[in-house]
Amino acid sequence: MNRNIVLLRNLLLSTSLTNRYKYCKDKKKKSKIAGGMVGNVILYIMLISYCVADCAGFGYYGMTEQIPAACAAVISLLSFVFTLFKTNGYLFAFKEYDMLMSLPFEPKSIAACKFMYMYVKNLPWLMSVSVSMLAVYGYFAKPSAAVYPVWLILSLILPVIPMLLAAFLGFIIAKLGSGFKNKTIAQTVFSILTILACFGLRFFLEDMFRENKTEEVMTYMSDMNVKAERLYPPIEWFRGAAAELKISDMLLIAGLSAVLFEVIFLLVGRSYRRINSALKSHSAQGNFVMTEQKTRSILGAIVFKEFRRMTGSAIYMTNALVGELFCLIAGIGIMFADIDKLIAKMFKGAPLTKEMLFPAIPFIVYFFVGMISTAAFTPSLEGKNYWIVQSLPISKKTLYQGKMLFNFLLITPFALFAVISFSVSAKVSAVSAVLYVTLIVILCAFSSAWGCACGVKHIRLDWENEVEVIKQGTAVTVYLFPNMIVTMALTVLVVYLGTKTEQTIVTGIMAGIAAVATLLAYLRVMSLAKEK
C-alpha cells in the first residue's frame, strides 16, 4: 500500500468515533462515544434543515437556477472556515510531530497527509450540504439524470480549493509567528486578527434579513450569489459544470485543485521542518539571573499552571480569548455609539426601546464570554500526563476548583468591563447597574462550574491532537449548545418580563436562579471528583 495512504489511514483510524466505539471495552466510554455520535447526527440534521429551507425559498420564488451557486458558496465557506481554524494544530505544532518526522516520509508528504486528513474529516459536513441542496434542486428543476453524479463528484473536488487557500493562509500565519520570540502569542495575534477580518465581512450582509418581505430577501440573496461568482470564480464554474454540464468548467475545477495542491505543498514542504521546529522550541535569555522564588497557594499554583498552559498553545488562546476580545471591543464601542440609533438599526421595524432591553444586558455580555469555558476542556488536556496529576499530593476536588477559578478569573474582568460600559452608556439607575454586575458575576461562576462539570463528566485522555478536545470534544459540545440555547431564551424572556413588571425584580429573580444553578453545577463537579 502507498505509504501516504498508510499514514492517512492510521490518522483516521486513531480518531474515528466508530472505530473507538467498536473496540472500546469500557461501557462508560462507549456511552460517551455514542453520545458524541448522536450529537453529531443532531448537528447534521440542523445543517441539512437549514440548506433545505434555503433552497426551498429559491425554488418557491422561481430562482431555482441560483441553487447550484448557493451550494458552491456554502461548501466553499464552510471548507475555508473549518480549515483555517484547524490548520494550527493539525498542520503545524501538532503533538505527534516528532514521531511522524522520524518515519520515512518527506515533509511535503506529511503535510499533504495532514491536509487530506482535515479534508476527510470535513467531508461529512460538506456532503450533507451538497446532497440536501441537490435533492431540493432536483425537485424544482427536474434536471437530466447526468446532473446528479456530476454534482456529487464535483462536490468532492470543490472543497479542495478553499481548503488549500485556508491552509496557505494558516501557513503564512505560522511562518510569521515562528519568527517572533514568543511564538504562541504571535500566532494567536495573527489568528485573532484573521478571525476579526472574517467577522467584519458580515457587515456587508447586515441588511440581508431585515426586509419585511421574504421575496425581497431571496432576491437580495440571489444578487449576493451573482456577486460571489464574480469574486470567487469556482462558484460560477460549479454552477456551469453541475447544472449545465459544461466540460470546460469541470476541467477548470479539477485542474485548479490539482495545480494549487502541488504548488502550495511544494512551498509548505520547503519550510515545514523549520516552522514546526521554531514553533515547538522555546527561547531563553542569556542574561538569566536567579531571583527569589515565589510561593503560591495550591489553588494559585493550579491557576498559574493553567495560565502557562494557555499561553503555550495558540489553539487554546484563540478559542479562550476570542469571546473576551469581542466583549472588550463591544464595551469600548458602546461608549461612543448612540444606543437609540443602534437599536433602531439592529431591530429595524421592531417596537423596542433601550429601556426594554436593560434587563438583557448581563445576558448579552454573557453570550460573548460564556459560550466557551476553559474548564470544559482543561481536564481532558491533561492527556497522557494525567498520571502526573494523580501522583501529586493534591485532591481532585482542589484540582477542579483551580480549573474553575482560572476560567472565572479569565472571563470576569472582561464581562464586568462590558456590563459597566453598557450600563453607563445606557444611563441605567445605580440599583440596576449593581444588580447587572451581580448577575454577570454569578453567570461567570456558572460558566466555570457548568463547564467543569461537562469537562469532568466527558473527560477524554486518549486524544492525539489538542484540537480534538478544545474544538471537537464531547464536553465542549455538551457545554456549548444547552448553554447557548438557554441564554438566548432567557434574553428574550427577561425583555418580555421587563415590560410586565419592575425590571429590578426580574434581574433579582434571575440572579437567584443563576446562583442556584451555579451551586448545583459546583456540587456536581465535587461529586464527579469522588468518582473519577
Secondary structure, 3-state, 36-48: HHHHHHHHHHHHH
Q: How far is CA 516 from the centre of its chain?
A: 29
Looking at residue 297, its pLDDT comes to 79
Each residue of 343-357: pLDDT tens digit?
Answer: 666 555 555 666 777
Each residue of 376-419: pLDDT tens digit?
Answer: 888 888 776 676 767 777 888 888 999 999 999 999 999 999 99
| Residue 6 grid coordinates | 498508510
Distance, CA of 100 to CA of 102 (rounded, Å)? 5
Looking at residue 299, its pLDDT comes to 85
Looking at residue 517, its pLDDT comes to 94
Distance, CA of 454 to CA of 371 (rounded, Å)? 13
Residue 10's identity, in one-letter code, is: N
Residue showing cell 459546583: 522
Q: First-to-last CA distance in the chain? A: 42
Helix (H) or strand (E) holding 296: none
| Residue 374 grid coordinates | 476553559
| Residue 246 grid coordinates | 459544461
What are the two backbone dihedrals, phi and then psi, of residue 353, each rounded to the nearest 5 degrees? -120, 165
- In this predicted structure, which of 53-62, 63-72, 89-98 has the lowest mean pLDDT? 89-98
Distance, CA of 151 to CA of 1 (rounded, Å)? 30
Q: What percent of the chain has pLDDT over 90?
A: 15
Instruction: Report whether pLDDT(285) > 50.
Output: no
| Residue 346 grid coordinates | 439592529
Distance, CA of 422 to CA of 297 (rounded, Å)? 36
Instruction: Report whether pLDDT(289) > 70.
Output: no
More confident residue, 14 or 44: 44
Instruction: Report whether pLDDT(506) > 60.
Output: yes
Alpha carbon separation from 185 to 176, 191, 311, 312 (Å, rounded): 11, 10, 7, 8
What are the two backbone dihedrals, phi and then psi, of residue 493, each rounded to the nearest 5 degrees? -65, -45
Please count the other Cβ atoms lying within 10 Å of the Cβ belonging to residue 425: 18
Looking at residue 284, its pLDDT comes to 44
Average pLDDT over residues 319-348: 74
Under the banding of pLDDT at 50, 70 and 90, the label for residue 278 is low
Distance, CA of 378 to CA of 366 (rounded, Å)? 20
Each residue of 211-264: pLDDT tens digit?
Answer: 444 455 455 555 565 666 667 788 888 888 888 888 998 899 889 888 888 888
Average pLDDT over residues 99-103: 71
Under the banding of pLDDT at 50, 70 and 90, the label for residue 179 is very low
Whether 515 and 442 have beta carbons less than 8 Å apart is answered as yes
Alpha carbon separation from 459 to 26, 36, 93, 416, 468 (Å, rounded): 14, 12, 23, 30, 12
Under the banding of pLDDT at 50, 70 and 90, the label for residue 301 is confident
Distance, CA of 59 to CA of 77 (rounded, Å)? 22
Instruction: Report whether pLDDT(190) > 70.
Output: no
The CA-based angle 162-165-171, given to 5 degrees, is 140
The model's pTM: 0.62
Looking at residue 428, its pLDDT comes to 85
Residue 41's identity, in one-letter code, is: V
More confident residue, 17 or 305: 305
Whether 399 and 302 have beta carbons less than 8 Å apart is answered as yes
Distance, CA of 476 to CA of 456 (rounded, Å)? 11
Distance, CA of 469 to CA of 374 (rounded, Å)? 11
Average pLDDT, the chain: 78
Looking at residue 195, its pLDDT comes to 53
The CA-based angle 432-438-444, given to 5 degrees, is 135
Instruction: Report whether pLDDT(61) > 80.
Output: no
B/e letters for 123-143, b = 16+ CB within 10 Å, e = fewer, are eebbbbbbbbbbebbeebeeb
